[in-house]
Amino acid sequence: MTTERIHVFKRFERFWHWSQAALIIFMMVSGFEVHGAYKLLGFKSAVELHTIAAWSLITLWVFAVFWHFTTGEWKQYIPTMEKVDAMFKYYLTGIFTHVPHPFRQTTLTKHNPLQRLAYLFFMLVISPVIWFSGWFYLFYADWSAWGVDKYLSLEWVAFFHTTGAFMILIFFIAHIYLATAGHTPLAHIKAMITGWEEV
């Protein structure tokens, strides 16, 4: 098989990915502590640092959204059902028998169809759940000033926020694992660091 190196991840993209990864991991660690799952940082520090991380992530996202639209990279996330079944089949059997990957990466289509769906799900479902619930969680004291205190209860806000957190945790587990599913276990991870992928 001939290999060819292509530049799939731009510098900003890589910076965005890794800083976001660090923030999300940290927010999971501090968030589940606030949830009462364990003691690590101490409740007070966990709350304060979780809040700081949230604001940092919001800032990062504002820039990322701006970047995606100005560069047209947002198109990478347009979903397609084409080859989705082939992808499933590959992960279920092909990967073990070493048939060729059904998807060929290019700079213009760097995500495979499953990735596109997964990231779109992340952006359209998980993110809104976690951000909206988190926003109301954070501004709990202002509910009455906003006139929403009649419709919200902290119990339900926390419920949705925790639901979002669990979805992120599950996404995180699958994401880390599938990152090792390149043609070598470290291929995708290297690409995310250097930007270059062998295809």
Partner 1 sequence: MSSRTRIALSALVAGAALAVLTAFATTAPAPVVAAKPGAAGTTAPAVPAATGEKKESISTADHSKFKELQKEFKSGPEVTKACLTCHTEAAKQIQKTQHWTWEFLNPDTKQTLGKKHIINNFCTAVESNQKFCTACHIGYGWEDQKFDFTKQENVDCLVCHESTGTYRKIPGLSGHPPYKDMEFPPHTGKIVKAPDLAKVAQSVGKTSRANCGACHFYGGGGDAVKHGDLDSTLKNPGKYLDIHMDKKGLNFTCGTCHMTAGHKVPGSRYAPTAADIKDAAPHLRGKMVTTNPATCQACHGAKPHPAKMARLNDHTSKLACQTCHIPEYARGQPTKMSWDWSTAGKLTPEGKPFKVQGSDGHDAYDSKKGNFTWESHVIPEYIWFNGKVDYTLSDTKLDPTKVVQINRFEGSPNDGKSLIWPVKVFHGQQPYDTVNKTLIVPHTFGADDSAYWTNFDWDKSLAEGMKVAGIPYSGQYGFVKTEMSWPITHMVAPKADALSCAQCHSKNGRLKGVQGIYMPGRDSNKMLDIFGWGIALLALIGVLIHGGIRIITRKHEG
Instruction: By CB under 8 A, name the one of 74, 135, 146, 166 that touches partner 1.
Output: 166
Please, what's the largest Cα pairwise distance for the chain? 65
The total number of residues written for the chain in this structure: 199
Is 165 among the residues that bind partner 1 (CB under 8 A)? yes
- Binding pattern to partner 1, positions 22-61, x when CB under 8 A? ------------xxx-----xxx--xx--xx--xx-xxx-
Q: To the nearest whole angstrom, how small is the minimum distance from the Cβ of residue 49 to partner 1?
A: 9
Binding residue count for partner 1, defined by CB under 8 A: 52
What gap in Å lies between CA 191 and CA 111, rounded to an integer?
13
What gap in Å lies between CA 153 and CA 53, rounded to an integer?
24
Q: Cβ closer to partner 1: 128 or 185?
A: 185
Q: Cβ closer to partner 1: 69 or 80?
A: 69
15-21 own/partner pairs: CB under 8 Å, 24+ apart = 16/60, 16/63, 16/64, 16/67, 17/192, 18/192, 19/60, 20/57, 20/60, 20/64
The residues binding partner 1 (CB under 8 A) are 10-12, 15-16, 19, 34-36, 42-44, 47-48, 51-52, 55-56, 58-60, 62-64, 66-67, 70-71, 91, 95-98, 140-141, 144, 153-155, 158-159, 162-163, 165-166, 169-170, 173-174, 176-177, 180
